[in-house]
Amino acid sequence: MFKPNYLILVLCFFAASLSGHATAQWHQKSFQVMGTQAHVEFWLEQNEHSSISDSPAQLIEKVEQEMHRIDRLMSPYKPNSQLSHINQQAGIAPVKVNQELFNLLLDSRQIAELTQGTFDITYASIGYQYDYRQGQKPAKSDINQALDAIDYRAVMLDKQQSSVRFKNQDVRIDLGGIAKGHAVKQCLAILKAAGIKHGLVSAGGDTGLLGDRRGRPWFVGIKHPRAAEKTAVQLPLSDESISTSGDYERYFIEDGVRYHHIINPKTGDSARKVVSVSIIGKNSTYVDALSTAVFVKGLQEGMALINKLPEYEAIIIDNQQTLHVSRGLQEN
Ligand code: ADP
Ligand code: MG
């Protein structure tokens, strides 16, 4: 009597572990959104005890749709986005916007204050005159004329009305330095709400991590700034977000000078003190905006700022391609 029972037990165990293998696995998808490549990846354990109601495909679809929704709301290239509407109207009269966009405008102002205006969404007052694909930049006189309008204080936010008003008609805004971080944050929340414990969401240079990679850290690479195929460094991370700003994503070179998509709000010209900045922290939105700000600030000022913020760490690659890390990342 003992033997058959034992056998049944063993068989049951095998059946259980086999079915476990069939439904618990990594799921992933890469797709294009916000003018860049996005990626979602997660471990889904689906068995009868699972609280996860979505199928892997449904969950991936939710994440993808969330990114497209944010793009439709915030893209400066879509004439019907709320952002375009603000740029068309807010110089004339207050424009009511949805709460999510309003909150991101509040975040943008807070980060502008935190970074002494090196992160400033009104950079767009001149930014829209650059076309990196066409190799076009504004004339010096156009830059000089626009400089007055580059000032985060020129964006007036009315919390009661949830409305935006510009100081004058020359002001324009663009959320390109913060929207992808926000999108990553939203998508991580979707995965978390679905019960996912191990996941990754990325959009361009912004990556958010949920938990670890099942007992091991995730490895997030920072691109080599001057060799597209190479990785400068791989970072083991869990439960963090990381954002990289580089001068190699969108640029053209004219007379030996690199014109790229990160603009110093004080000069209206591309920032050229460093070539790559990565910021690590829990808040995906903030790490995105901070990587842009620290890029503008450069090594000394940028590192000094991050060393004052205990929740964030930085990896900066300077013009000599030397890598520098903030205090929290240094071994001691
Ligand atoms: P990426 O968009 O490649 O991820 P970043 O996070 O560094 O890189 O963001 C760069 C984008 O931020 C630019 O394409 C532009 O839309 C916007 N931007 C450029 N300069 C500034 C600035 N000084 N402050 C805020 N946003 C900026
Ligand atoms: Mg950024």
**Residue 316 contacts residue 323 (beta carbons within 8 Å):** yes
Sort residue 211 into left (φ over 0), alpha (ψ -120 to 50) or beta.
left
Burial class (CB in 10 A: 0-12, 13-18, 19+), 80: exposed
Nearest-CA residue for atom 6 of ligand 1: 177
Tell me which H or E stretch contains 244.
Answer: strand 241-246
Per-residue pLDDT band for 10 (boundaries 50, 70, 90) equals: very low
pLDDT tens, position by position, 265-280: 999 999 999 999 999 9
Our answer on whether the CB atom of 205 is closer than 6 Å to any ligand 1 atom is yes
Interval between CA 230 and ligand 1 midpoint (Å): 23
pLDDT tens, position by position, 130-146: 999 999 999 999 999 99
> How many CB atoms are closer than 10 A to CB 61?
14
| pLDDT > 80? residue 18 | no
Our answer on whether the CB atom of 177 is closer than 6 Å to any ligand 1 atom is yes
pLDDT tens, position by position, 75-103: 999 999 999 999 999 999 999 999 999 99
% of the chain residues with pLDDT over 90:
89
The DSSP bridge pattern shows strands 95-96 and 206-210 to be unpaired
Q: How far apart are CA 307 and CA 325, in angstroms?
A: 10
% of the chain residues with pLDDT over 70:
91
Ordered domains of the chain (ranges, CATH): 76-166 (1.10.3980.10)
Q: What is the DSSP letter of 131?
A: B
Sort residue 148 into left (φ over 0), alpha (ψ -120 to 50) or beta.
alpha
Interval between CA 260 and ligand 1 midpoint (Å): 10
Q: What pLDDT score was predicted for residue 1?
A: 33
47 vs 70, higher pLDDT: 70
Q: Mean of the per-residue pLDDT values for the chain?
A: 92
pTM comes to: 0.92
Q: What pLDDT score was predicted for residue 2?
A: 34
| pLDDT > 90? residue 190 | yes
Per-residue pLDDT band for 46 (boundaries 50, 70, 90) equals: low
Per-residue pLDDT band for 332 (boundaries 50, 70, 90) equals: low
Q: How far apart are CA 276 and CA 294, in angstroms?
A: 9
| pLDDT > 50? residue 215 | yes
| pLDDT > 50? residue 126 | yes
Tell me which H or E stretch contains 82.
Answer: helix 82-89
* DSSP secondary structure letters along 194-216: TT-SSEEEEETTEEEEES-SSSS
